[in-house]
């Protein structure tokens, strides 16, 4: 696994979640765009890292 991808993925998810915690009562797309983008980007980084590590582990068997 690549620690760098995991680190940045977790950081983006945490930062996006912190932005969203304060604004959970009303939905305004302009206000939620950047936090949602950060969370999705972090999740994609983590998912890509886990999928690549699974493929790498299978090829070594």
Measuring CA to CA, how many Å separate 51 from each of 4, 11, 18?
Answer: 15, 19, 27
- Percentage of residues in the chain having pLDDT higher than 90: 0
For the chain, the structural domain boundaries read 3-56
In this prediction, residue 11 carries a pLDDT of 87
- Tell me, what's the pLDDT at 56? 59
Q: What whole-number distance in Å separates Cα of residue 49 and Cα of residue 17?
A: 20
Summarised one tens digit per residue, pLDDT across range 12-60 is 888 888 778 767 655 566 777 888 888 899 999 888 888 887 665 555 5
User: pLDDT at position 8, please?
Assistant: 85
Is 16 in contact with 37 (CB distance < 8 Å)? Answer: yes
Stated pTM of the model: 0.49
State the Cα–Cα distance between residues 43 and 30, nearest whole angstrom. Answer: 21
Which three-class secondary structure state does DSSP give residue 39? helix
């Amino acid at each position: 696994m690549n620690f760098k991808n995991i680190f940045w993925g977790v950081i983006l998810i945490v930062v996006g979640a912190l932005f969203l915690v304060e604004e959970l009562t009303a939905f305004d797309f302009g206000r939620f765009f950047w936090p949602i983008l950060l969370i999705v980007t972090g999740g994609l980084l983590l998912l890509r890292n886990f999928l690549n590590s699974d493929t790498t582990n299978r090829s070594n068997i």
